Structure 1
Amino acid sequence: MLQYGVHVSRTPLALAALSTAAVPGLDAQSVRVGELAGDYDVAVVTGQDGQEWVVRAPRTTVAGAALEAEIELLDALRLYIDTGVLPFVVPQVAGHALLPEGGRAVVHRRIIGTTLDVEALEPGPGLAADLGRAIAAVHELPTSVVETCGLPSYTASEYRERRLTEVDEAARTGRVPPTLLRRWETALEDVSLWRFRPVVVHGDLAPDQLLVDRQRVVAVSGWSEARVADPADDLAWLLAAAPLEAVDSIMEAYQLRRTELSDPRLAERAMLVGELALARWLLHGVRHRLPEVVEDATSMLQDLDEATADQA
């Protein structure tokens, strides 16, 4: 049982010490703060041989439980990587160190690659198409891979209800423009938009979790939000951020890689899911009493409302 207090955090030097305890023979020569911290303390440790290692330690009980599930999932994904089902690698845990307050820190080799530049995506058979295929490969995994790790699994109707609850909660803040709110509510009441087959989703895809090399996706990290849910979740950020001319290449490659895909409104739903991410950002700021986040979300919601006024 994890025994975290409200918040536990560690310095990079403390994380370096944990890494040497976790990986036999690792002689830490230098350390720097890692990225993607979130609810984790993250550091990159360089060993005597120049090899870089990533060490992650959870700050909260919830993060500790999510990390344990992620460790189990990463181990399960190894089979699908070895057999070529997944066309990229994922972090593989090399060792762990127990934490005084409970739980454990984990260490894996740092995967080398270039962070995805979404805005530079071009149409055609290159990186945009490979992104579509990589995401489709995740969605083709058996749902049991996630479910046996204790990660969440939702039906389509359950997931629609979750979205409705989020929008209702965001509406109560009084910060969602009325016309935008009405459009969201109309879309959520359109049951036909939410007829999809739940699949394994990464759940938290972002450019800095995708490493690319020579027009290929070579690694995907950050699997703590994996679940069985709406495939639109993994496409929403891409359709919102990628150049319009590259979106067709992404979706065409995705659809060709999927088997028995029957979801004619997937792209439409993905665009909506991307908009609803602003509601979740607003709620994050409200729940954690972060006024700067609340103001940022409010500004983006107003911009979105103006940009989509003709869709109301």
Structure 2
Amino acid sequence: MDMTGFTGMVDGWEERVRGMLGGSAVPGLAEGRMRVLGAGMDSVALLVEGGGGEFVVRLPKGRDGAEGVAREARVLPELGERVSLPIPRFAFLAGNPLGPGECCVYAAVPGESLGADEWRERGMLADDAVAGAVGRFIDEVQGFPVGRAMELGVPVRDMRGEFAEDLESVRAQVVPLLSERVGRALVERWEGYLAEAGNFGYTPTVMHGDVSLDHLLVTGNRVSGVIDFGDLQIGDPDFDLCYLFMGAGAEFVGRVQDRRGRAFDERLRRKLVFWACADSAIDALHGIEHGMVEFTEWSVRRIGVALQEFGGQAGVL
């Protein structure tokens, strides 16, 4: 979730970041042109043009983001040897001038981040070669040895336990903000996901955890790199299709699955629909817990939209 529109930068952020870069081993980096690339729940990304190239600075906003950067620093060097697309290769870590832990700096991964409309305009969502590249990347990440990932600190996700716990919080804090019809439809989807034993019969794998169109960088009409590994985790491999389903649609996910030699069956579709609907509810929880009124209101509206768009719940809005 890109939260750039809901995230304010702390006063004096640019001076602090330049001070940090001034202590690095990359000459001229501190004097480069700097702009905000985007922001998520856990970190802010800046693009710095200087030091003989373009560099990305990712700055954690809290403890979770700091843990993610530290985990990436351990995992990405080994993962980078296994994947066929360029991914971030950290030039260095440094004390985070805007928050806890360390921030990371790396040479910009080639390509640009595009929205779904631009992917569609370039014909990429209908391109089997693009679907094949995305599917191959997912398989390469999921082929990383689980035991080694655990040694490197990649967390194991209990999908059933986490979503059961989230449901209790959603009932208490989010459902009261919804219309009766939307709240009922959301809870029914949630309970249906938890009740279907087959949803939890998967073999855990390493997952990128956030394979979305904006994290698949594009050059021309091909995927040229992948970014944002802060959500690396071990869990249900189907979850790596969740944000593609939300952003690119069922047809593209089906194309990816076909290129992987895997089915896009009704069970997978139901899982993806649930995750798409639950995503906005969990965002709303985050907004409530952190006092982000505007973001909470936006997320609450998105729940009804998601139920209608992905779940076929006619008339929920």
One fold, TM greater than 0.5? yes
Instruction: Answer whether contact 2:213 2:247 (CA < 8 A) is retained.
Output: no
- Residue type of the partner of 1:182? E
Find the counterpart in structure 2 of residue 149 from structure 1: 152
Provide the residue aligned with 1:107 in structure 2: 105
Answer yes or no: is the 8 Å Cα contact 2:115–2:213 preserved in 1: yes
- C-alpha separation between the residues in 1 aligned to 2:101 and 2:250? 44
One of 269, 281, 287 as aligned partner of 1:285: 287
Whether the 8 Å contact between 2:58 and 2:104 is mirrored in structure 1 is: yes
Partner deviation per Cα, 1:216-270 (whole Å, 9 max, x = no partner): 33211111110101122210111122244433212211335xxxx9998334312
Match of 1:36, SS? strand
| Pairwise CA RMSD | 3.0
Who is 2:203 aligned against?
Answer: 197
Higher RCO (C-alpha under 8 Å, 6+ residues apart):
1
Q: Is the 8 A contact 2:48 2:55 kept in 1?
A: yes
Q: Provide closer, same or farther for how the CA distance between residues 143 and 216 of structure 1 changes in structure 2, counting only shifts above 3 A.
A: farther
Q: SS state of the match for residue 103, structure 2?
A: strand
Cα distance, 1:278–1:62 mapped onto 2, change above 3 Å: closer
Report how many residues are paired. Answer: 293
4+ runs deviating over 4 angstroms? 7-10, 99-102, 261-264
Percent identity for Structure 1 against Structure 2:
23
User: What does the per-residue CA deviation read over 1:6-38, in whole Å, with 9 as the maximum and x for residues that have no partner?
Assistant: x98761232133223223434444232332333
After TM superposition, the score normalised by the length of structure 2 is 0.81
Alignment correspondent of 1:4: none
The answer to whether the 8 Å contact 1:66/1:224 transfers is: yes
Q: How does 1:265-280 map to 2 (within 5 A)?
A: 265-280=267-282
1:309 matches 2:313: yes
Unaligned runs of 5+ in 1: 1-6, 81-85
Q: Deviations over 1:87-112 (max 9, x none)?
A: 11111111233358873332111122
Structure 2 matches for 1:1-312, cutoff 5 A?
11-38=13-40, 39-47=42-50, 49=52, 51-80=53-82, 86-98=83-95, 103-119=101-117, 120=120, 121-154=124-157, 158-173=158-173, 174-176=176-178, 177-255=183-261, 265-306=267-308, 308-309=312-313
Quote the offset at 1:159 in angstroms.
Answer: 1.4
For normalisation by structure 1, the TM-score amounts to 0.82
Which amino acid in structure 2 is aligned with residue 104 of structure 1? E
CA contact (8 A) 2:85 2:224 kept: yes
Q: Whole-Å Cα distance in 2 between the matches of residues 151 and 263 of structure 1? A: 29
**Distance in 2 of aligned mates of 1:264 and 1:25:** 55
The alpha-carbon distance between structure 1 residues 142 and 287, as it changes in their structure 2 partners (threshold 3 A), is same
Q: Which runs of 5+ in 2 are unaligned?
A: 1-8
Q: CA, structure 1 residues 304+59, in 2 after alignment: closer, same or farther (shift >3 Å)? A: closer
